[in-house]
Chains A and B, each alone.
Chain A
Amino acid sequence: MKTFRRGGVHPDPSKITADVPIAPLAASAKVELPLSQCIGAPSVPVVKPGDAVVAGQMVAKAGGFVGAPVHSPVSGTVKKIEKTRSPQGLWQETVIIEADPESVNPQPLAGRADELKPEDLKLEPSEIVKRISEAGIVGLGGATFPTHVKLSIPDGKKAEMIIINGAECEPYLTCDDRLMRTCAAQIISGTKLLMRAVGVDRAIVGIEENKPEAIEAMRFAATVSPGIEVVELKKRYPQGGEKQLIEALTGREVPMGGLPVDVGCVVDNVATAYAVFDAVCRRRPLTQRVVTVTGPSLTNPGNFLVPFGTPISRLIEAAGGLPDDTGKVIAGGPMMGRAVSNLDAPTTKGLGGILVLPESMSRRPAVQPCIRCAKCVEACPMGLEPYLLASLSRLGRYEDAARRTIMGCIECGCCSYSCPSGRPILDFIKLGKLNLRKKK
């Protein structure tokens, strides 16, 4: 079974929502659409307060080439364009729409009838990229990098294959798993469109071994598609990290500071592939996604199909409400997710999961002295020396840390996870990266 070569950890998968089917969840009457939903320039609003919008209408255009438009998931009236708080409580410019009550339900997922039409595969690659760009599709694995930018291969580089990331190595999260089980055919169709868009005839779908149903569904869907290979991967974190996935599937190493396309790969998440299908074949912009709402003490954890702009608190309500013993709410998975301080913030394109941890699990272990056990060095999938980077950064020796490739850190968290002394290794590495970026 394929896997990446060095480092990695084996956190308890805790996929408690793996067998809960995707349930649609209606948006609330007030839909908040933040303008910065992708890495890159914030979107520029094209509507004014008082304007009527219909579901799927663009409310903000891309703020630049590296940027994506934002579409309204609902019909209704634009109330205000003002600052609201992000899940981390920071101000963000937001379009607030008052939704018509009959339009708040999410669009149903593509069914058996929504197949790829033969003429879709004859589309010009540029037309496919244009449709993807107009639909506001960004990487749905969490990085939210605009997909059309990835598909525009820079001059002098050559893509050889598309890699579809279905690893979902983060514990607890199951949204990709469920999507693969439900919409395997559409994901494969989306993959074909991506292959046509960049002009390659090969694609590899990588899925971790703990999702046998998804692997089977994807294999079945890909049987008649030459060039698309579904590969079972070992259960190991961070299998779904871009560089690790490429290494596991192709054996190629993305050069330090380089992009996947430097080794001929274009990596997209399964949810992105599905969104591509939706955008190109059904001409639907990206206005919703599957979000896993999970946690050991939630009464009704599940996978929900939600329109963007729905408050996080509404998602938690749907999962049975915030338990009394809640200690921490995390946007994303437990390894790389960000702690949430404001539960009223809306869901956005990059949010794949809400994890509610009880008080007992949200406390960090007591910090003890580093005993130089080298567990972090063993765990680092990038081959860095986290203990060294963390102490250099703690001492303010950022230049020395840069010399030891601190910027190569992918912030997967394996070092802090495995540190027996409970040292906040990644915190200090992040601090170092922050300061180095500030200096530039």
Chain B
Amino acid sequence: MNIILTTIIVLGMTGIVAAVVLWFVAKRFHVYENPRIAEIEELLPGANCGSCGYSGCHAFAVACVEATSLDGIECPITSNATMHEIGEIVGLAAAENTARVAIVKCNGTCENRPPLNRWQGPRSCALEASLYVGQSDCANGCLGCGDCVAACPFDAIAMNQESGLPLVDYGKCVGCGRCVAACPRGVMDLAVFDASKPLVHVACNNHDRGPAAMKVCKVSCIGCGKCVKVCPAGAVAVKEFLAGIDSEKCTGCGTCVEACPRNSITSYNKES
């Protein structure tokens, strides 16, 4: 009996002492954090992709709570509804945010742009771009080593083995823009994408003059400007011999796709 009692007392005392120490430590080293930060973090995707401009989702939540206005603070990869919820938590109006996705501004497949030399060594777009023009003569096109694939935190880009080009999975892409930053050639870009209209973009990034561009690739944009003329929405402009479609103005009618003599413009429909 005595043993049992002693055990209970000793263990109980140890427990109490430990509890006191823990309580004291917790009090002494307590860091106050606005509970709304945790609330907002719950709503965020938690991918820490950094596309909002902050170092991660936690930093973004802190910024939301500390902000006096939500202008310019937005998580590009959540829906508008989520941003509204965040707005409600901090008592501010959230800006409307348009869903964007990554687009590949190159269609230089092996057929369109046959390889002219052979690269040996680890495949890295950054390395190849630092040394030379790439396996074709196109100085702006995709190098095909998949730096964008490695950069994507959402596993939304994969290398198409046949074409040697990255393929964006629009079911997964949230438009965080990591691939845009990773591409040394500026082949990746973001475009507005909503289900109501097809995604039309110029699948070329070649800034060379027409003849030079024509030489390096079968489907290069030569900046002829036909698409500018036919576009009913005035969404296309040619800059430095390269057509670009303003995806916000674009209605997805596809007139330019038909008109392009070089087949440089592609259209992607969510249903297809």
Contact = CB atoms under 8 A, between A and B. Distances in A.
Touching in the complex, A and B, CB below 8 A? yes
Given A89-B132, A89-B139, A341-B116, A435 B121 contact: no
B141 to A, nearest CB: 12
B130 A430 contact: yes
A339 interface: yes
Contacts of A85: 133, 137
B117 interface: yes
Nearest to B130: A434
Listed residue (B116, B137, B139, B208) with the most chain A CB atoms within 10 angstroms of its CB: B139
A37 to B, nearest CB: 18
Interface in A249-267: none
A363 B133 CA distance: 20
B110 interface: no
Interface in A317-361: 338-339, 341-342
Contacts of A23: none
Contacts of A394: 122
B122 A88 contact: no
B156 interface: no
A338 B124 CA distance: 17
Interface string B114-145: 00110011101011001111100101000000
A398 B41 CA distance: 28
B132 A339 contact: yes
Given A341-B116, A341-B132, A435 B126 contact: yes
Interface residues of A, number: 20
B116 A431 contact: no
B137 A430 contact: no
B139 A91 contact: yes
Contacts of A428: 122
B117 A341 contact: yes
Contacts of A341: 116-117, 132-133
Contacts of A364: 120-121
Interface in A83-121: 85, 88-91
A424 B133 contact: no
Contacts of A362: 120
Contacts of A90: 132-133, 139
A85 B124 CA distance: 22
A424 B122 contact: yes
A89 B215 CA distance: 14
B116 A424 contact: no
B26 to A, nearest CB: 33
Given A89-B139, A339-B132, A434-B127, A427 B121 contact: yes
A430 B132 CA distance: 14
A104 B126 CA distance: 40
A88 B132 contact: yes
Contacts of B121: 364, 424, 427
A356 B234 CA distance: 53
Listed residue (A338, A363, A424) with the most chain B CB atoms within 10 angstroms of its CB: A424
Listed residue (B116, B126, B131) with the most chain A CB atoms within 10 angstroms of its CB: B131
Interface string A400-440: 00000000000000000000000010011011001100000
Listed residue (A89, A90, A342, A434) with the most chain B CB atoms within 10 angstroms of its CB: A89
Nearest to B117: A341
A438 to B, nearest CB: 8
B208 to A, nearest CB: 8
Nearest to B134: A89
A364 B120 CA distance: 7
Interface in A133-162: none
A88 B131 contact: yes
Given A85-B133, A89-B132, A430 B127 contact: yes
A344 B197 CA distance: 47
Nearest to A364: B120
A28 B134 CA distance: 27
B235 to A, nearest CB: 29
B117 A363 contact: no
A431 B131 contact: no
A427 B132 contact: no
A338 B127 contact: no
Contact of B133 (A89, A427, A430, A435): A89
B223 to A, nearest CB: 15
Nearest to A396: B150
A85 B139 CA distance: 10
A440 B116 CA distance: 34
Contact of A339 (B122, B124, B131, B137): B131
Interface in B78-123: 116-117, 120-122
Given A341-B117, A364-B121, A424-B121, A431 B132 contact: no
A341 B131 CA distance: 10
Contacts of B132: 88-90, 338-339, 341
A312 B126 CA distance: 26
A434 B126 contact: yes
A307 B205 CA distance: 36
Interface in A358-398: 362-364, 394
22 contacts: A88-B132, A88-B133, A89-B133, A89-B134, A89-B139, A90-B132, A90-B139, A339-B132, A341-B116, A341-B133, A342-B133, A363-B120, A364-B121, A424-B121, A427-B122, A427-B124, A427-B127, A431-B124, A431-B126, A431-B127, A434-B127, A434-B130
Interface of A: 85, 88-91, 338-339, 341-342, 362-364, 394, 424, 427-428, 430-431, 434-435
Interface of B: 116-117, 120-122, 124, 126-127, 130-134, 137, 139, 208
Given A342-B133, A428-B122, 9 more contacts: A88-B131, A89-B132, A89-B134, A89-B137, A338-B132, A341-B132, A363-B120, A364-B120, A434-B126
